[in-house]
């Protein structure tokens, strides 16, 4: 018998009563009374770290969650897990996402709790927490740390990290000098919190609210505001309700909930990373997300949220415009309104409770979109048999139908060594190709797909080129950039065999990415230079390289994905989107 509260998941000494006796004795050593231990136990996942300023408000959030838990009659039990700060993780934060998911899953499973509040915010932390909690099967609520405030540089409003890239591009183009770029560096991040544009962190915040896994309106309040703390208090309060009703994540994270999340991902002009994370999260529940579904939804879901990098505003503006409920109201005809949320009410009921629309300029009406189709388009062709994606809402219209000569870099070292060389043979209408930055090649699929414009061209005023890789791109970046080419080069995908001088054709309208090399020539290149999967001798690197899946499987470890119950599947039918 699993038990509840402190009787749950006892340490195994061969005598269950003694195990409980011992556990209570130790927790009483921290000053708890027997009465406190009778309450529903709510775990709170703390991910504060000096290496993660995006989580810099963690102490205040934990206090507010605890208040909500107490208000509802529960007992809060904060505990730590791994934290991943995007710019502090080598080789890339994505390399560690699955490790954080494993830590989250196993600590939720190992320790006694009837529900858990997951506090994360920086890019990989939220998907890691949802993946872990979904697999642990304990009632869960996601609370995000919230976006940073915007800053000001010489009177211009700035925020990480779209403006970081914009100013760095100007520095590379010699439009700004050394002291100038140092001055910008002081202004870009005005407070703790996650990036203030529609990057991956904001995307995942909106996605988890759309999934029904976060309390309504909690995606957008800035990290340092009262609204953020109230969202934390409400999260604690709702967690006790979930514990009492035993609402496990699979009741909320249904195929309909994932359909709603994909709609929102498309309508916010969300980060391309969002599709990888959603695929991994759904994979934990045995719900396949295929790229064709995403593309079909994309053709009928316009971008409505006017935020950088696709538009002009910041997350704090989105919050003032009513936050995600304002968008959900516009998307209502496309949503599954019966999907359950952590409040115990449906998404449709929550949209009604948010009240009527009011005048604002951040979320466009459905009939007047920022971009007529969803932000992300899915490409296929002989260069990407398993698919590739492009964030069309942040691409240059003139380059979306383009044929050009490939200029190939075989990895990040080669890129660093040659991209700014004065003698690099490159022209503005060439296609830059970067190989070996996929899941095993990177390793961890680094956000290096935003290949810089070669200095000689940047100085001549070139702002965008078609760029192709098997890596990812920061959600805060913009450009005509093809990403997640699958299969990746490092395991022998066609991308590995592209050579400088080949012709490549991109057609976003036709959703095609073609290497214009005869099939026989390509086959000969494969035979000449076959690839074997990269390996490591020991440790996490060994586990990672042996187990990581491709982008179309969410880059999760193969052994962490949902194990299908074939008898139940036969009864219920396939759970695909």
User: Which whole-number Å values give the CA distances from 538 to 39, 444, 541, 543, 546, in the listed order?
Assistant: 44, 16, 6, 8, 11
b/e map 414-438, b = 16+ CB within 10 Å: ebeeebeeeeeebeeebbbbbbbbb
Could you tell me how far CA 202 lies from the centroid of its own chain? 8
Q: Provide the minimum distance between the beta carbon of 100 and ligand FES in the complex, in angstroms, as a whole number.
A: 14
CA distance 439 to 427: 30
Q: What is the CB neighbour count within 10 angstroms for residue 77?
A: 18
- DSSP assignment letter at 87: G
- Give phi and psi for 432, each to the nearest 5: -80, 130
122 or 491, CB closer to ligand FES? Answer: 122
Q: Provide the minimum distance between the beta carbon of 123 and ligand FES in the complex, in angstroms, as a whole number.
A: 5
CA distance 531 to 172: 35
Q: Provide the minimum distance between the beta carbon of 195 and ligand FES in the complex, in angstroms, as a whole number.
A: 3
Q: Provide the minimum distance between the beta carbon of 341 and ligand FES in the complex, in angstroms, as a whole number.
A: 24
User: Which whole-number Å values give the CA distances from 511 to 303, 387, 392, in the listed order?
Assistant: 18, 10, 11
| Longest alpha-carbon distance in the chain | 76
DSSP structure string for 90-140: SS-HHHHHHHHHHHHHHHHHHS--SEEEEEE-STTHHHHHHHHHHHHTS-E
123 or 430, CB closer to ligand FES? Answer: 123
123 or 514, CB closer to ligand FES? Answer: 123
Q: Provide the minimum distance between the beta carbon of 529 and ligand FES in the complex, in angstroms, as a whole number.
A: 37
86 or 103, CB closer to ligand FES? Answer: 86
Q: Provide the minimum distance between the beta carbon of 165 and ligand FES in the complex, in angstroms, as a whole number.
A: 12
Q: Provide the minimum distance between the beta carbon of 477 and ligand FES in the complex, in angstroms, as a whole number.
A: 12
Q: What angle, rounded to 10 degrees, do the helices at 178-187 and 162-172 form?
A: 180
Q: Provide the minimum distance between the beta carbon of 121 and ligand FES in the complex, in angstroms, as a whole number.
A: 6
54 or 485, CB closer to ligand FES? Answer: 54
Kindly list the residues in this chain that would bind ligand FES in the complex (CB under 6 A).
Answer: 54, 86-87, 122-123, 161, 194-195, 199, 201
Contacts of 542 (CB under 8 A, 6+ apart): 535, 536
123 or 502, CB closer to ligand FES? Answer: 123
- Give phi and psi for 402, each to the nearest 5: -150, 140
96 or 108, CB closer to ligand FES? Answer: 96
Which among 99, 91, 204, 127 has a CA at the least distance from the CA of 554? Answer: 127
96 or 335, CB closer to ligand FES? Answer: 96
CA distance 228 to 146: 7
87 or 248, CB closer to ligand FES? Answer: 87
Q: Provide the minimum distance between the beta carbon of 84 and ligand FES in the complex, in angstroms, as a whole number.
A: 9
Q: Provide the minimum distance between the beta carbon of 414 and ligand FES in the complex, in angstroms, as a whole number.
A: 27
Which among 226, 299, 290 has a CA at the least distance from the CA of 267? Answer: 299
Q: Provide the minimum distance between the beta carbon of 219 and ligand FES in the complex, in angstroms, as a whole number.
A: 13
55 or 511, CB closer to ligand FES? Answer: 55
Beta strands 156-158 and 376-381, pairing class:
unpaired
Q: Report angle CA 189, 227, 204 to the nearest 5 degrees.
A: 60
CA distance 47 to 350: 29
Q: Provide the minimum distance between the beta carbon of 85 and ligand FES in the complex, in angstroms, as a whole number.
A: 6
Task: Answer whether 339's CB lies under 8 Å from 256's CB.
Answer: yes
User: Which whole-number Å values give the CA distances from 31 to 9, 71, 134, 213, 455, in the listed order?
Assistant: 22, 20, 32, 33, 63
64 or 195, CB closer to ligand FES? Answer: 195
113 or 161, CB closer to ligand FES? Answer: 161
């Amino acid at each position: 018998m699993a038990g509840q509260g402190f009787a749950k998941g006892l340490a195994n000494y061969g005598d269950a009563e003694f195990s409980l006796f011992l556990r209570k004795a130790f927790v009483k050593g921290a000053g708890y009374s027997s009465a406190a231990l009778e309450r529903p136990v709510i775990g709170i996942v703390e991910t504060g770290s000096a290496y993660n300023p995006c989580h810099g408000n963690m102490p205040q959030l934990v206090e507010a969650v605890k208040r909500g838990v107490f208000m509802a009659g529960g007992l809060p039990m904060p505990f730590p897990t791994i934290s991943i700060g995007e710019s502090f993780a080598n080789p890339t934060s994505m390399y560690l996402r699955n490790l954080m998911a494993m830590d989250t899953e196993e600590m939720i499973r190992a320790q006694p709790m009837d529900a858990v509040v997951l506090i994360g915010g920086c890019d990989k932390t939220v998907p890691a927490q949802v993946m872990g909690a979904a697999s642990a099967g304990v009632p869960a609520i996601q609370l995000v740390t919230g976006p940073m405030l915007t800053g000001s540089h010489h009177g211009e409003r700035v925020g990480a990290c779209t403006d970081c890239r914009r100013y760095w591009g100007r520095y590379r183009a010699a439009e700004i000098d050394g002291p100038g770029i140092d001055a910008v560096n002081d202004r870009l991040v005005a407070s703790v919190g996650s990036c203030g544009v529609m990057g991956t962190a904001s995307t995942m915040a909106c996605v988890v609210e759309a999934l029904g896994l976060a309390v309504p309106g909690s995606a957008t309040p800035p990290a340092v505001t009262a609204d953020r703390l109230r969202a934390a208090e409400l999260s604690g309060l709702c967690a006790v309700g979930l514990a009492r009703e035993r609402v496990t994540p699979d009741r909320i994270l249904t195929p309909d909930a994932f359909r709603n999340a994909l709609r929102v991902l498309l309508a916010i002009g969300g980060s391309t990373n969002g599709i990888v994370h959603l695929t991994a999260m759904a994979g934990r529940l045995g719900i396949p997300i295929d790229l064709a579904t995403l593309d079909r939804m994309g053709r009928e879901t316009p971008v409505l949220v006017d935020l950088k990098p696709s538009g002009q505003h910041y997350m704090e503006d989105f919050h003032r415009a009513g936050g995600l409920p304002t968008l959900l109201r516009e998307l209502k005809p496309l949503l599954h309104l019966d999907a359950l949320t952590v409040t115990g009410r449906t998404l449709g009921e929550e949209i009604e409770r948010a009240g009527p629309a009011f005048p604002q300029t951040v979320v466009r009406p459905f009939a007047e979109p920022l971009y007529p189709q969803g932000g992300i388009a899915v490409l296929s062709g002989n260069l990407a048999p398993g698919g590739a994606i492009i964030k069309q809402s942040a691409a240059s219209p003139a380059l979306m139908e383009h044929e050009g000569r490939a200029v190939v870099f075989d990895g990040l070292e080669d890129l660093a060594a040659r991209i700014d060389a004065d003698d690099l043979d490159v022209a503005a209408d060439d296609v830059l190709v970067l190989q070996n930055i996929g899941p095993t090649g990177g390793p961890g699929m680094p956000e290096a797909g935003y290949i810089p414009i070669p200095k000689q061209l940047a100085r001549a005023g070139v702002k965008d080129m078609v760029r192709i890789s098997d890596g990812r791109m920061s959600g805060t970046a913009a450009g005509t950039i093809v990403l997640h080419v699958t299969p990746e080069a490092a395991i022998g995908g066609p991308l590995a065999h592209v050579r400088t001088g080949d012709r490549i054709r991109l057609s976003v309208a036709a959703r095609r990415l073609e290497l214009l090399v005869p099939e026989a020539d390509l086959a000969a290149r494969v035979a000449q230079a076959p690839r074997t999967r990269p390996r490591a001798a020991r440790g996490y690197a060994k586990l990672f390289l042996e187990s990581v899946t491709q982008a179309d499987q969410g880059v999760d470890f193969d052994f962490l994905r949902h194990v299908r119950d074939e008898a139940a599947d036969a009864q219920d039918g396939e759970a695909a989107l």
